[in-house]
Amino acid sequence: MWKLNWEALGIDWGKVAEVLTYDSHQPMIFNSGLFLFLFLGFSLVYVLLQRKTTARLLFVTMFSYYFYYKSSGVYFYLLGIVTVSDFLLARRMEETDTPWKRKLLVVASLCINLGLLCYFKYTNFFYEMLAPLWNGTFRPLDIFLPVGISFFTFQSLSYTLDVYRKDLKPLDSLLDYAFYVSFFPQLVAGPIVRARDFVPQIRRPLSVSSEMFGRGLFFIVSGLFKKAVISDYISVNFVERIFDNPGLYSGLENLFGIYGYALQIYCDFSGYSDMAIGLALLLGFHFPLNFNSPYKAESVTDFWHRWHISLSTWLRDYLYISLGGNRKGKARTYINLMLTMLLGGLWHGASWNFIVWGGLHGAALALHKFFRNLTGRPKTYHSTGIRRIFAVVLTFHFVCFCWIFFRNATFDASVVMIRQIFTAFHPELFVQLVTGYWQVFALMALGFVLHWCPDSWQNACSRGMTRLPLVAQAMVLIALVYLVIQVKSSDIQPFIYFQF
């Protein structure tokens, strides 16, 4: 009998097993070669299962769990705990009309989801705060933070809360719910997709039009360019150096480091969101837009209508409105805004820096609402001309100031950076700085120009990609991959929001 000689083919199965198992130093992300290779095989099976809905959902769910295993190792079981518990709690909620029982069930869902989130994310933070009470020495506990736990717990919570409010009927199939919670394009860094938007698409006949395919490819290409070309390059070659030792650099260098980080985090996170939206389109699913040119915002309120839209609307619908929103008087409205943003800051990480960041945004939102009420301007009001330019510039610099606290590991480092800007600016170093980092500044200029260009330009590029023949679309993708290879650092840079 003919027998295939694997050794003759030069296949090292030990190496293959090493690549396919979890590596804490190399989590699987969209711009890695391993993901691209696996996605090709995944796509082939996905197409073959086009008309077998249940088998396709099961296959995608299994791949999603493997994807999460490659990101967080054995902690993929947390995803299963959240999925099964919320599915059963939502079903039980539907079966009872007793108000106190429904409330007890939704509290159980909150305790499970927020309990997991608090343990893995905030145990050391609160332990450090409370240690002085018993004169104890703080030694951080060795607690691993599973990638994306903030995203899938919030996504699952939105389902149980919607069922509790009777805005949504619970699913009958555990497989459908597992598919919704674990769908790999948005699993580890969003966008946070609502069940009411996604569930109706699950068992719809699979259909990917040429327009969906073209738009999906455009989102993937633009997201990959933002992340792997602009964000990673300016981060490794400039931004990290400034933030690692702000006291060693002049105020001018610190200022441009902040501008660089503002572009880096936007390109990093919106790049991931774009790739997630693009991958979902290729698989026949629609995700909501998560970023809408946030640095074009003319106020902090407008900024939060454009930045991480899925999180800001989640906080509005399930936290701000639950606290009373604007229904209990002006003073209570401002307090609710502050509480929402303080908790939003804490959602990003267990650090006083994040709380300060959230508090600054909360205060700015309250102040903007106060002046809007004072002047009697409607919510739909938009300034024009020079006033709009001034408002955009002012909002951008306020957001950049807040990024100082968001990015720095300690509050002291943030103070040092601000002090350098106001006491040791040294504008005479500008020419030397630009010539020394001309590649970084060229990419920063390109990034901001693309960001501030009219929306019609992006829409035209998307339409152009859709109209290209398949061969031309493939050539565009190959050209971008080649560009990424030329500019990338030695190690693949993980997405910033993996840590949240």
Task: Kindly tell me if the per-residue pLDDT of 379 is higher than 80.
Answer: no
- For residue 198, is pLDDT > 60? yes
- Cα distances (Å, whole numbers) of residue 148 to 79, 324, 349: 10, 29, 12
Q: Which residues touch 382 (CB under 8 Å, ≥6 apart)?
A: 298, 388
Here the tokens at position 430 are: 């500008």
| Alpha helix (H) residue ranges in 230-375 | 232-234, 240-244, 251-282, 300-304, 309-315, 330-348, 352-375
Give the DSSP per-residue string, 371-399: HHHHHT--TT----HHHHHHHHHHHHHHH
Mean pLDDT of 245-255: 94
What is the pTM (predicted TM-score) of this model? 0.89
Catalytic residue flag (residue 361):
no
C-alpha distance across the termini of the chain, in Å: 55
Pick the catalytic residue from 286, 305, 308, 348.
Answer: 348
pLDDT at 1 over 50: no
Cβ(330)–Cβ(372) below 8 Å:
no
Q: What span, in angstroms and rounded, lies between the C-alpha atoms of 469 and 464? A: 10
Q: Answer whether residue 251 shows pLDDT above 80.
A: yes
Reported confidence tier of residue 492, pLDDT bands at 50, 70, 90? low
pLDDT tens per residue across span 52-92: 999 999 999 999 999 888 888 888 889 999 999 999 999 99
Across 386-397, average pLDDT: 94
Find the mean pLDDT for residues 170-198.
89
The DSSP call for residue 351 is S
| Strand, helix or coil for residue 360 | helix
Q: What pLDDT digit, counting tens, does each position of 336-349 carry?
A: 999 999 999 988 87
| Rounded Cα distance, 225 and 393, in Å | 25
CA-nearest of 160, 33, 438 to 446 is 438
